[in-house]
Structure 1
Amino acid sequence: MTTLAQQLLRRKPIGRGTGDSPLHRTIGLFPLMAIGISCTIGTGIFFIMSQAVPLAGPAVVWSFVIAGAVAGLTALCYAELAGAVPVSGSTYSYAYATMGEGTAMVVGACLLLEYAVSAGAVAVGWSQYLNELLQNVFGIRLPEALINAPEEGGLVNLPAVILVALCAILLIRGTKESVVTNAVMVCIKIGVLLFFIALGVTGWNSDHFADFAPYGIGGVAAGAGVIFFSFIGLDAVSTAGEEAKNPKRNLPLAILLALVVVIALYIGVALVAIGAQPAGQFEGQEAGLAAILAQVVGSSWPATVLAVGAVISIFSVTLVTLYGQTRILFAMSRDGMIPKIFAKVNERTRTPVHNTLIVSGVVAVLAGVIPITFLAEMTSIGTLAAFLVVSVGLIILRRREPDLERGFKVPLYPITPLLSIAGCIWIITQLRPITIIVFVIWVAAFLAFYYFYGRRRSALEPGNAPLSADVPFTTTVRVEGDRR
């Protein structure tokens, strides 16, 4: 009989191919890149300047560069692992292949916070921007009782629930339809940010950069800490491991291209925003980029354009985070860690319909009745913990599988993953103690579920069949200790 220690440390062999997966490879390079851009560029860039500029001054431009560099280090690690282990499950699958079943379950808990909880958080924000858009265009304002959670004086956040339902319908119809819709929305949101840059640069004033770093390097670092969370989402590309065409090439390339696009857009927006408005006017500025354009143009119509951009942006973020969560749960279910219903795939649409309905139902409840502040805090720590595991996993895989075929290798190894680890730890230490405590409790509860359910049903448990008619297993299962 396998001991608990052996169960926690056993590793799933790396899949050498996923030709028997029930998921179809329908996602090309551009749609993959759009997944990363979509999940990264949410509402943060529309309003983050009002939080970051008071900390860093005009040097907030360097804050964006630093935050992008830290996020980029992790993105490079994801790019290598995505090309080496091209399966669904993202960080969960990487942890399972490098550090063992116990660590994989901890990562599974983190990813539930990163994807499911963040989907709820951004859906809550969608109702606010939708309300603003309806008021600006049609003069209609939704009742407060239907756009706020009970703790905020409302009954239910109905627009947030409707948004989740619309995304679920798209995902159930098919992966191809979902990624095409997302790609269109990404083009629109990029267009809106380019619209800001093109219009905002007409109000450029070089004098706004005169006192460039009034708060020194400490202010630049503080600004980078706030901005970092605007770069989260690039890892969403890795959840499409079993639906990507030519995954060893396209997964790493999509992550890297998405990173370049996001960094370029963010720095462009930051430069134009500072050039168009003095640094002292950013603090407390609720309308963000819209207010800057209103000053430059002398009219309120740009606010409507940016509101459209925010509404579309949040829709695409919700769509991608729901997609990512269902594929992570698909991988965990196939491995026996959670009930098999999450791995059942509809024969016609080739999508995990039951999985999508369950995830969407839970997210709709979160979005409908829980305040956004709590959801956002838990998303942050779950994401950082997952990032940390990826960087550690890359180092382990390099040592354990030096001859493994990789579509991409991180430059300056091992400096790159070590810097990524250091950056993640630093940002985690900046979080509120209560957030860390709740996170520890959540992970402990997830491990308790593993103890009573997952470890005995694992596909790696001797006597358990790794294959079934409706849940194909994409790798040959060996008990830890065998050499590949």
Structure 2
Amino acid sequence: MEQTNQIERKLKLMHVVAIGLAYMSPMAVFDTFGIASDISSGHVPAAYIVVFVAILFTALSYGKLVRQFPSAGSVYTYTRNVINPYLGVIVGWVTFIAYIALPMINALLADIYLSAGFPEVPGWLWVVGLIAIITFLNIFGVKIAASVNMLLVIFQALVGVIFAYLTIRSIVKGPESFIPIGDIFPSGGEVPELFGAAALLALSFIGFDAITTLSEDTINPKKTIPKAILLVAGIGGVFFFTVTYFMQSLFPDVSIFKDIEGASPEIAVIIGGNLFLSFFLSGALFSVFASGLAAQLSASRLLYAMGRDGVLPKRFFGYLHPKFNSPVANILLIGVLSTSAIFLSLEAATSLINVGAFTAFSFVNLCVIISFFKHKGPRSFGFTVSSLLFPLIGLAFVVYLWISLDIFSIIAGLIWALLGTIYLAFTTNFFKKEPPQIAFDELEA
């Protein structure tokens, strides 16, 4: 059967937002609260405000570029068309490391949660089982995956609402009181600690950028994707701030917990007993599943865009299944690669995500800045602010995140980038032949 290499547009705004929120994994706010509170000296809500404002500038950069290039390649597409085609391939290659690492992290978290309840079951079985299920759902089409994600996100929101209610009830009945608005932000001496916590929490917002890989799955992407980007970032910001505000009010000092890094189960028991703990852990497990489903979906779309371009072997990576209208080969490949989580630690997988995410954030802002200087028309004040000042602020924050990375992350990123450069040199006759271009006029709808 002849391949059209055209993904059918099925996703509406609510589907894209659900996938972005699922990728973001809202339940992670509970897992990071203890350590973030320790770093920020009890100012987690303020740290979320800082990181939200900073990430918002990068989200606006994504919104600008997706209107110009409404295709599945995300930052790979933007970089190769705005800056340089060779660099675009390398950026896409490095970014891909985050897309492949997130399913690994979700598989590892599933192992942690389920092994605690069923210690007699081998951990590798949970890893393989989760990956097999999300691979199966993604093969049968993006609409099915999006619908499942929507239900899982609703359940996570329900857990969050009940958590907030129980926390408020505990504050009202107990000796603690709500944090006064004027005390949310720390005094001058604690500001560096606040920014340190913000750097840690920046990864909570990964998800708004992943949905740009779904542009070709989405109805009217030039309008839908930018709206979805801001909605995902905004909903996430409100949710994270609200939940941590109540948690910080009830527990201003997290040193009372036995395990600061795993404080959330202890909090769940304190505010709601063992019954709520079971409900809370179910929400955490569903969050892992939803995030893994969204991550594999986004990764397969990025590979598909590169395969359709011929950057990767087109026959395999650019293939769409005639019945399911999905890049089945890419989905299966992501599934197989994700099983390597059996041999990785959670810290190592997180380091890989940092490298890929920060690379994407950096080059998205750079693309908007370079586009500003390439613009041949008049540059009004509003245009200058939105196309130069805002992405510069976003880039400055990302540079700070880069500085916070550990040496393992830097080395892993450099090795991965080197491998991509070697492959690109081999396939382009040592950069004498330019990588193929996308015909964007065929992608607009």
- The normalised TM-score by structure 2 is 0.89
Contact 1:346-1:353 within 8 A present in 2 as well: yes
Letter of the 2:335 partner, please give it.
S
What's the CA shift for 1:57?
A: 2.5
Map residues 85-484 of structure 1 onto 2, 5 A cutoff: 85-132=69-116, 135=117, 140-143=118-121, 146-147=122-123, 157-204=124-171, 205-206=176-177, 213=186, 216-281=190-255, 284-297=259-272, 299-340=273-314, 341-364=316-339, 366-400=340-374, 412-454=386-428, 474-475=439-440
Letter of the 1:75 partner, please give it.
A
Contact 1:172-1:353 within 8 A present in 2 as well: yes
Question: What CA distance in whole angstroms lies between the structure 2 residues aligned with 1:318 and 1:25?
Answer: 22
Deviations along 1:372-417, one digit per CA (max 9) or x if unpaired, are 22111121122101110000011222343567xxxx9896442110
Contact 2:368-2:387 within 8 A present in 1 as well: no
* Secondary structure, counterpart of 1:345 in structure 2: coil
Question: What CA distance in whole angstroms lies between the structure 1 residues aligned with 2:320 and 2:210?
Answer: 21
The structure where helix makes up a greater share of residues is 2
What's the CA shift for 1:289?
A: 2.9
What's the CA shift for 1:332?
A: 0.6
Deviations along 1:190-229, one digit per CA (max 9) or x if unpaired, are 1111121111111222276779737611221111121111
Contact 1:160-1:368 within 8 A present in 2 as well: yes
Deviations along 1:156-191, one digit per CA (max 9) or x if unpaired, are x22111111111111111111111111111111111
What's the CA shift for 1:460?
A: 5.2
Match of 2:6 in 1: 22
Question: What CA distance in whole angstroms lies between the structure 2 residues aligned with 1:260 and 1:415?
Answer: 21
Going from structure 1 to structure 2, the CA distance change for 1:411 and 1:350 (only over 3 Å counts) comes to farther
Letter of the 1:234 partner, please give it.
F
Letter of the 2:166 partner, please give it.
L
Going from structure 1 to structure 2, the CA distance change for 1:302 and 1:223 (only over 3 Å counts) comes to same
Contact 2:156-2:286 within 8 A present in 1 as well: yes
Structure 2, unaligned stretches of length 5 or more? none
Going from structure 1 to structure 2, the CA distance change for 1:410 and 1:345 (only over 3 Å counts) comes to farther
Letter of the 2:33 partner, please give it.
M
Match of 1:15 in 2: none
Going from structure 1 to structure 2, the CA distance change for 1:315 and 1:174 (only over 3 Å counts) comes to same
Deviations along 1:264-283, one digit per CA (max 9) or x if unpaired, are 00001111101222324366
Deviations along 1:333-386, one digit per CA (max 9) or x if unpaired, are 11111111111101111111112111211112x222222221111211221011
What's the CA shift for 1:456?
A: 8.2
* Matched pairs, number: 427
Going from structure 1 to structure 2, the CA distance change for 1:476 and 1:293 (only over 3 Å counts) comes to closer
* Secondary structure, counterpart of 2:217 in structure 1: coil
Question: What CA distance in whole angstroms lies between the structure 1 residues aligned with 2:250 and 2:383?
Answer: 40
Contact 1:115-1:325 within 8 A present in 2 as well: yes
Structure 1, unaligned stretches of length 5 or more? 1-19, 148-156, 467-472, 478-484
Contact 2:46-2:194 within 8 A present in 1 as well: yes
Going from structure 1 to structure 2, the CA distance change for 1:280 and 1:188 (only over 3 Å counts) comes to closer
Residue of 16, 24, 33 corresponding to 1:40: 24
* Secondary structure, counterpart of 2:195 in structure 1: helix
Q: What is the CA RMSD across the aligned residues, in angstroms?
A: 2.6
Fraction of identical pairs, as percent:
22
* Secondary structure, counterpart of 1:241 in structure 2: helix
Question: What CA distance in whole angstroms lies between the structure 2 residues aligned with 1:66 and 1:419?
Answer: 12
- The normalised TM-score by structure 1 is 0.82
Question: What CA distance in whole angstroms lies between the structure 2 residues aligned with 1:97 and 1:53?
Answer: 42
Letter of the 1:343 partner, please give it.
G
What's the CA shift for 1:127?
A: 1.5
Letter of the 2:49 partner, please give it.
V
Contact 2:5-2:319 within 8 A present in 1 as well: no
